[in-house]
């Protein structure tokens, strides 16, 4: 069976779609984490002047753990859904200063063997992202830099996704993941 990763920038609805797909397929799901489950110092590091190494180590370790578990489970004929993938680190790399890239590539190297079978890239309009990020009201996202970062990273995701055959791009701007009709559109595109 398949390991399906859902990726995208902040505020696009990755976690909710992972929950919905896992529920639809009666399958396990693994999450990147949210405020409250990610150490505050890691979240604050996103916009600080500190090096990104600790943040990358945290998220890469989380992705490795989640994808490794999902791969084991999928070998037992059960689909698994995961929030995040190696594509996530590739897209986020564009936002990091070039002087950190060599070490960041080394940190992310364990992910190179853990690509999911399929990846859904969620994208949305800039206006949608601005609205959902504001509505989430997360302390680390309440500044203009957070919105610009999310849009910049989304643009890089799109560039990278076009190079990967296993990536399905879904514009969720007008989709409601709580709607059966919209979920069936996604299930149809996923073809599991």
pTM check: above 0.85: yes
More confident residue, 40 or 111: 111
Q: Read off the pLDDT of each residue in 159-177 and give the average, rounded to a whole number.
A: 95
Secondary-structure class of domain 3-186 per CATH: alpha beta
Report strand pairing: 29-30 vs 167-171: unpaired
Q: Where are the domains of the chain?
A: 3-186
For residues 117 and 69, the answer to whether their CB atoms sit within 8 Å is no
pLDDT digits (tens, 9 = 90+) for 57-104: 999 999 999 999 999 999 999 999 999 999 999 999 988 999 999 999
Q: Give φ, ψ of 47 to 5 degrees.
A: -115, 15
Interatomic CA distance for residues 164 and 179, integer angstroms: 29
């Amino acid at each position: 069976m398949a390991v399906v990763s859902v990726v995208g920038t902040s505020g696009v609805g990755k976690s909710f779609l992972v929950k919905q797909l896992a529920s639809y397929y009666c399958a396990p799901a693994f999450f990147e984490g949210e405020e409250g489950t990610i150490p505050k110092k890691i979240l604050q590091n996103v916009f600080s002047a500190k090096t990104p190494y600790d943040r990358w180590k945290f998220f890469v370790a989380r992705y490795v753990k989640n994808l490794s578990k999902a791969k084991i489970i999928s070998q037992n004929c059960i689909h698994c859904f995961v929030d995040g993938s190696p594509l996530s680190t590739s897209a986020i790399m564009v936002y990091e200063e070039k002087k950190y890239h060599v070490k960041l590539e080394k940190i992310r190297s364990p992910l190179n063997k853990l690509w999911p079978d399929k990846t859904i890239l969620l994208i949305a309009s800039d206006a949608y992202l601005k609205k959902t990020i504001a509505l989430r009201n997360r302390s680390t996202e309440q500044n203009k830099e957070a919105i610009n970062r999310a849009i910049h990273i989304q643009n890089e995701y799109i560039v990278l996704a076009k190079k990967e055959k296993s990536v399905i791009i879904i514009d969720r701007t007008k989709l409601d993941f709580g709607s059966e009709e919209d979920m069936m559109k996604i299930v149809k595109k996923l073809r599991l």
